[in-house]
Structure 1
Amino acid sequence: MGDYGTVPHILPTIGSPPQPKEISVLITGFGPFKTNLVNASYLIASSLPSSFLFPDDSDSRQVSLYVHPTPIPVAYATVRETLPLILEEFATSHDGHRPDLIIHIGIAAPRQYYSVETLAHRDDYNITDINGHSGYVDGEKRWKGLGLPPILTPGRATDDPSSASPYQPEDQFLETWRSFAPKSDLRISKDAGHYLCDFIFYTSMSLAHLQGQDRNVLFLHVPGGSEDADIEQGRVVTLALIKSMVICWLDKKHLA
């Protein structure tokens, strides 16, 4: 594991009691790149509340949102070096525990819809980052050396890391997500793009996999618009996604 530096030792969350009163969500967004001088992903992330109650009744749980305070630079080496530190800092301030849920947000500028990615790729990061580097050295080469699979999907620690699992977004997940943001165009995607969005998604799940943790991670692609109305819609969609993850992932897991 030396290729990642010191992978943080994070305590498992598998033994947590059913229906926790507090749910922690770690969220990141990206910085500018290429012609995208403003990255809507970080504007959306930073617009989120620090917490909310869900559902809003006598049995409500507090969902606490921990947005990384700065945008992640669109650079392979930076993602590789920074993400383990972000998780380690979170664990240090949360009694050694990993976030219950993790969402990475990035833009797909030409798209006018929101999509949740269902898988991440290990190989073929040939598009150069803001530093002019491809992702081979910081990604594919290291990951192959660690024996990681070509594909990683969200899932429990006991699932096959490259196969569909109860954590994988599917029709029921999409239906639930749409119910919380009915006016938005929401979709499920199987192609995260072989660029930094795909790269951070694989990096995040690989760190969980190497620690024997649940791959409780999703990547959300958002449109590139950065007007106030765009950010507000992105905020609504992201909160809807978090609620869907609680219902379809955490509640289902506790009932299993």
Structure 2
Amino acid sequence: MPPPNVVTTDAAADAAAGQAVVGSKAPDSPTSLKNHHHPHRVFKVYVTGFGTFEKVPINASYIVASSLPSVLPEKYIQHAPESVKSQHLQVSIIPHVEAVPVSYDKVTKLIPTLYQDLPGVDLFVHIGVMPFGYYRVEERARKGPYGPPEGDPNGRADVDGKYPENNEAGRAARGKVPKEVHEILSGLDLEAICKDIENAKKDSTDDFEVPKVSNDAGLYLCEFIYYNSLAESIYDDEAKYESEYPEPRPVTDPTAETPTSSRAIFIHVPSIMTDEWLEKSKETVKRIIGAIAVQRLSP
């Protein structure tokens, strides 16, 4: 059998189905399988999308997340430098088996489970919707405030009618985040990723858009899940990253003035539910994932 970060092309579809997470229980991760030769360097991606909330009866983010291919076609990584191409990079995508509830409590419980049970995942991609006709990659996540009375008086309760405890993500990473950490930044060069996608668009007839870099994820469940995910990747010693492939740069930096992690990303897609827009959203997300995989593995 191949090691946990390696799947054959034929096995990718089985992985997408067989390793899907039911509720907040993540799939078994065979991390004990080591040192098996395989011609591919597989970059494993786990993708979540949200469920219904407020005036969004069907959430485009989960439609997109659950419709991505189990293996990203090569055209999405063809801009990779020779040092990456020589590894025969293969990007494997595993979707969460159900839409993530728009619930602070459920997100708080889900994220540590995913990271602990899936130590071989290279990148966690979280997708959410916004009421605009463009795409965003988020470069920071704030601890709070998420709602009244301490936070924005117009802050919104979740689908359970609740706000997080103390109106902040204080339970992130099982409460192990230092109190002085009020925000976490992406360790990715998101401007460069957008530039790569812009360059790809010049030579492609595919329908996708170049995302914008944003530093305001909205202080609702989108930013909340992102903060929890970034924090989990840095601070929870029960959820260590176990990739067997070395990368040219550290994936996390807890000692930076503002801590950083490149193991998670949040993507905002339009909430528009027409077939045309859903296809555009899928294509744009695939472009983003491919660009991140290449950047993570490039010197």
The TM-score range, normalised by the shorter chain, is: 0.7 to 0.9
Whether the 8 Å contact between 1:124 and 1:136 is mirrored in structure 2 is: no
Deviations 1:154-194 (A, max 9, x none): 22xxxxxxxxxxx2412x22101223456515211010000
Sequence identity percentage: 28
* Root mean square deviation, CA, Å: 2.6
| Local SS of the residue matching 1:220 | strand
- The TM-score normalised by the length of structure 1 is 0.77
CA distance in 1, matches of 2:47, 2:133: 22
Deviation at 1:84, TM superposition (A): 1.6
Which structure has the bigger radius of gyration?
Answer: 2
Give the aligned partner of residue 215 of structure 2. 190
- Which residue of 192, 197, 214 maps to 1:177? 197
Cα 1:247/1:39, change in 2 over 3 Å? same
Q: Is the 8 A contact 1:22 1:64 kept in 2?
A: yes
Aligned residue pair count: 218
Counterpart-to-counterpart distance in 2, 1:138 and 1:145 = 17
Aligned to 1:147: 178
Q: State how 1:24-103 maps to structure 2 within 5 Å.
A: 24-54=44-74, 55=77, 60-89=88-117, 91=118, 97-103=119-125
- Paired residues of 2:142 and 2:184 also in contact (CA < 8 A): yes
Q: Where in structure 1 are there 5+ consecutive unaligned residues?
A: 1-10, 12-18, 92-96, 156-166
- Consecutive unaligned residues of structure 2, counting only runs of 5 or more, are 1-30, 32-38, 79-84, 148-155, 203-207, 242-250, 252-260
Q: What TM-score does the superposition give when structure 2 sets the normalisation length?
A: 0.66
1:51-107: per-residue Cα shift (whole Å, max 9, x none)? Answer: 134346886322100110100000000000112222333x2xxxxx33111110000
